[in-house]
Amino acid sequence: MGRFIKGFIPWNAGIIEGNQTLLLTKARKFGVSNEIEELLFKDVYWDRIVKIEEVDYDGFVYDFVVPFTENFNANGIFTHNTASFAGQQLSLLNVKGKDSVLKAVQKCWASLFTARATFYRHQKGFKHEKVYIAVVVQKQLGVLSKEEYLQGKYKAGIGFTIHPVTGEKNKIVIEASYGQGEAVVSGEVNPDTYIIDKETGNVLETHVGTKEKMKITKEGGELEEIEVPENMRNVLCLTEDEIKQLWNLARKLEEHYQFPQDFEWASENGKVYLVQSRPVTVFYEKKEAKVLVEKPPILKGLPASPGVAIGKVKVCLTIEDARQKIEKGDILVTKMTSPDWVPFMRIASGIITSEGGMTSHAAIVSRELGIPCVVGASHALEILKDGMTITLDSRNGLIYEGEIKELIERERLLEVSPEEAAKLQTRTKILMNLGVPTEIERYKDLPFEGIGLMRIEFIIAEWIKEHPNYMIEKGEEQKYVDKLAEGIAMVAKAIYPRFVVVRFSDFKTNEYRQLIGGEKYEPIEANPMIGWRGVSRYISPEFEKAFRLECRAIRKVREEYKLDNVWVMLPFVRTTWEVEKVLKIMEEEGLKRSETFKVWLMAEVPSIVFLADKFAKYCDGFSIGSNDLTQLVLGIDRDSGILANMGYFDERNEAVLRAMKELIRKAHKKNVTVSICGQAPSVYPEITEFLVKCGIDSISVNPDSVAKTRKLVYEIEEKLRGG
């Protein structure tokens, strides 16, 4: 299940407006319950579909192709996940006949409002009204006889196009077992594991799973669990040809989506099929810090989520066991987990499962929660007993009896705590980027000197939702101003007196069109990335009134909220004359540059580098937008997967680095500061070192990079000082 998006328009918006409004009204009145499912089955709401065409087909969804679906790819439908949502929505197998298909679709819709799904969205900050669902109907594989299953003619499993634990991008990880893939996905079996070199296809490492059981499809369509024959258990289940097919499939998926993928697959009679693919939501960079542990481990398994945990064992075979036993800091030991276990996983210091692989539910959720986890530890339930104190080394998949404190020290060497980083004084200021105002409470105590980039697009898209010109037309200007001011003030107040640089809105035309009422005011551009955006929008007659509302919101924060730590930044600046015009509009709205109110310019367009000495008179600081600067210096569409794969889009390119260095040199001659707020410093330490050597004044990074960037900058500056 994912969110299907077509040109950034929810493809099934009509379903949401009809079904979800009804659902939410009832849910708020009665509480989320099974009544939701009953309500869903009363009516079916469709988006852009006049009727359901009846098709004379009563078999399994096996060889049948749904008419018109071949057009989906041509029309640009793709999936986009911002969190894993693993196991949150219902998946149904072996659905037979049109009535059952319709019923199954409705059950999938209803699964949006189960207790675990609503809990997950609440934890992740997703609004229940804004979560869309599209139900995919696929061909059913594995309609074979029991004898064929027992001959190993059907296998299934999961793959990662990046090592999910170490983060190594040059490795593909495949997990495989006999029978339907549900047993692997849910962690009910210990699958075989294959680690493959992404470039060559060579198998680097294998792990033989126990594979004691498999799930097969019965004649009526239900799943049946049977035992795997003894002679098939302790040998690898995939053939060389199947491994080669999976290697090719994994490479093609990552090339297509331009991002590491977590995919499910099946092999029937030696032919591999793709079942689903989604982005990998959490993975780690490989880190090294060797510690010699003389004591032998009492148990081994597969490393699933890196870290070290020391705690008391609590063996829980059921949810009820977990409810009664688990306390904060315990190490949860169980057979396998499902989404219902998440509340108990959250309070555990570590997790061990006797079954499952690196792509099981326990593994995926542990990585997302940042909890050390070892899976597939076959004898865990026999060896580990309630009350035992153990040390869990989930970087290496090892479990030790007692406390091994050296391993905790190893983790400290690998990680930089915010408290430790805060003690490191640097000449270069470390700033933080922020997009969601409510997140400031979570990050306000990190060691940063200010917000180097506060995006207001989230406030507009999620809090306001309407196009500013549409609101002006309705006479609701003040509502727009108030909502913007509320979000900005939330951040500025939380970190006062540290400064907040608010970037004026930088939606492109295709993005503004998605706001309510937006289609009336936004043209369709061939290339919005370099079209009507940034300052060119603010000074245009079509948008000037809307820009003035943003100015009034800033003024309200500074004057009514008394938060004078708010500054502003102008994006996508092209010429000096447009900056003159926009500064005049700002002054008319009461925003004039001063000692306490600074104006920064985004350095994204090469013209600002060439003419930095001339632009300097209009601003107090420049902030390098490395993504757009790279795109425009090298003449690359940064969304082009072909060029990215060929190695063209690289912020480390000498031309891009020279542009940054030249900007810093010219700006400093005019006593204007320079910062950077693009992704480059978070991704490439060598760029950070280059910029520090060039004398950049500040570096603004995402929250998860603040502490490590401060440490890196400190070490670079120490080296430059000869320390």
361 assigned to active site: yes
Q: Quickly count: other Cβ atoms within 10 Å of residue 580's Cβ.
A: 12
Exposed/middle/buried for residue 43 (C-beta within 10 Å: 0-12, 13-18, 19+) = exposed
DSSP state of 57: -
* Distance in angstroms (rounded) separating the CA atoms of residues 508 and 534: 8
For Cα atoms 292, 298, 299, give the angle at the middle one, nearest 5 degrees.
100
Report residue 568 CA to chain centroid gap.
28
DSSP state, 130? G
DSSP 617-647: GG-SEEEE-HHHHHHHHHT--TT-HHHHHTT
Give residues with Cβ within 8 angstroms of 216, minimum separation 6. 142, 144, 146, 149, 154, 179, 180, 223, 224, 226
Per DSSP, the three-state class of 385 is: coil
What is the spatial distance between Cα 566 and Cα 555, in angstroms, rounded to a whole number?
9
Q: Which two tokens stand for residue 663?
A: 């900007």
Compute CA distances 412 → 76, 304, 403, whole Å.
Answer: 46, 19, 16
**Selection from 503, 531, 521 nearest residue 603 by Cα:** 503
By the 10 Å C-beta count (0-12 exposed, 13-18 middle, 19+ buried), 524 is classed as exposed
Amino acid at 722: G
Tell me the β-bridge partners of 700.
Answer: 431
Cα distances from 459 to residues 167, 434, 480, in angstroms, run: 33, 12, 10
Active-site residue, from 237, 316, 619, 677? 677
Residues 657 and 676: their CA atoms lie apart, in Å, by 12
Q: At what angle do helices 685-694 and 654-669 cross, to 10 degrees?
A: 30
Q: In Å, what is the CA distance from 132 to each residue of 12, 609, 663?
A: 7, 43, 44
d(CA 265, CA 541): 54
Query: Is 108 assigned a catalytic role?
Result: no
**3-class state of residue 490 by DSSP:** helix
Distance CA 228, CA 214 (A): 6
């949401």: which residue's tokens? Answer: 16
Buried b / exposed e across 110-146, counting CB within 10 Å, b at 16+? bbbbbebbbbbbeeeeeebeebbbbbeeeebbbbbee
Question: What are the tokens at 167?
Answer: 């983060």
Look at residues 443, 446, 425 and name the one whose alpha carbon lies nearest to residue 434: 443
Tokens of 415: 């990680």
Query: Are 410 and 308 spatial neighbours (Cβ–Cβ below 8 Å)?
Result: yes
Q: Which residues pair with 634 in a beta bridge?
A: none
Helix axes 706-720, 685-694, angle to 10 degrees: 50
Q: Which is catalytic among the residues 108, 237, 316, 361?
A: 361
Residues noted as catalytic: 361, 677
